[in-house]
Structure 1
């Protein structure tokens, strides 16, 4: 997940979902006439922040993108520079008193395809709550359930790869095995202090034009690849792809591949 250029070239699914969710939820939000201060949590390579989020925001003064990876932040700052955007390194899961970093807070917080990597959901949600000004809104979008996570689990049991994947549980959504992931998320967010405007985890589909595109999408987000010797990385990727195809039965006769997954969409409000 450190190869920003690869991620930009292979994140069509993430961009599609961000656009779908923004198109539906932005009209439901309340917007200040004098402009909003916006935080994008897990901005990654910065392309979604710059090319999707900012153009769609009706009123904006400033946008800040934060990410755990300094490499991603550096890439975003260089490649997707914009006068109203600043990119910073921040670990939303482990940050202590994040308002010391951003003392004014934000009127809107967005996050796309980031929070499924977070194991300590309560800490993360509490930090988002602290960063949000009273009266502000958050829109959090991330994977609730995905065969990708099952694939990681299965790969970690294989003798050839298990030494590189001993911490596999750290890279699996905490909602993966929940019967009602949206309710679990809503209960936790409410306990932190949020008002739940809506929280759902619908099943979605995305069609990859060909199996190589799916392979690159897997490669772009695979947290284990960099641990594996370079001479073995291609074999690892091929096994990951084969395992995922087996799990989903996703490869079509025309060479395309269909991904099916549940996407968490949480629209939250901080009343005080």
Structure 2
């Protein structure tokens, strides 16, 4: 955010949208804590980093961070919304768009992971 602040003209304005998490990632976070997938997904949190996901006060954290680098008149709003996939197949196709993770899984394991995510 410091770089963004430095790029702004004096008195300039900006609009920032941050995603705290999303359904396509939550399935992986949840599965990474199960005995079945814990070892295979041990680096999931490192690859898909959402620093505010487990923050109990993400709005305050963001306000404090933006003010600390020099932003003035900071307004932070958290909105929860659910993205509804019309079918499980549409959700599966969205999951397939994610980077191939992790690389040490067999093709069969990756398909099984995909099934478990859906």
Instruction: State the TM-score, normalized to the length of structure 2.
Output: 0.76
Kept in 2, the 8 Å contact 1:144–1:176? The answer is yes
RMSD, aligned α-carbons: 2.5
Instruction: Give the corresponding residue for 2:116.
Output: 239
Q: How many residues align?
A: 117
Q: CA deviation at 1:210?
A: 1.1
Instruction: Give the corresponding residue for 1:82.
Output: none
Instruction: Give the corresponding residue for 2:58.
Output: 181
Alpha-carbon distance in structure 2 between the residues aligned to 1:133 and 1:194: 12
Higher strand share: 1
Kept in 1, the 8 Å contact 2:20–2:50? The answer is yes
Alpha-carbon distance in structure 2 between the residues aligned to 1:194 and 1:133: 12
Equivalences for 1:1-80 in 2 at 5 Å? none
Kept in 2, the 8 Å contact 1:149–1:173? The answer is no
- Determine which of 72, 77, 84 is the counterpart of 1:195: 72
Instruction: Give the corresponding residue for 1:256.
Output: none
Q: In structure 2, do the counterparts of structure 1 residues 233 and 197 end up closer, same or farther at CA, with 3 Å as the change threshold?
A: same
5+ residue gaps, structure 2: none
Alpha-carbon distance in structure 2 between the residues aligned to 1:184 and 1:127: 18
Alpha-carbon distance in structure 2 between the residues aligned to 1:186 and 1:227: 39
RCO higher in 1 or 2 (8 Å CA, sep ≥ 6)? 2
Instruction: State the TM-score, normalized to the length of structure 1.
Output: 0.37
Kept in 1, the 8 Å contact 2:21–2:53? The answer is yes
Kept in 2, the 8 Å contact 1:145–1:176? The answer is yes
Q: CA deviation at 1:229?
A: 2.3
Kept in 2, the 8 Å contact 1:129–1:193? The answer is yes
Alpha-carbon distance in structure 1 between the residues aligned to 2:105 and 2:12: 43
Show CA shifts across 1:41-82 (max 9, x none). Answer: xxxxxxxxxxxxxxxxxxxxxxxxxxxxxxxxxxxxxxxxxx
1:129 aligns with 2:2: no
Instruction: Give the corresponding residue for 2:28.
Output: 152
Kept in 1, the 8 Å contact 2:32–2:44? The answer is yes
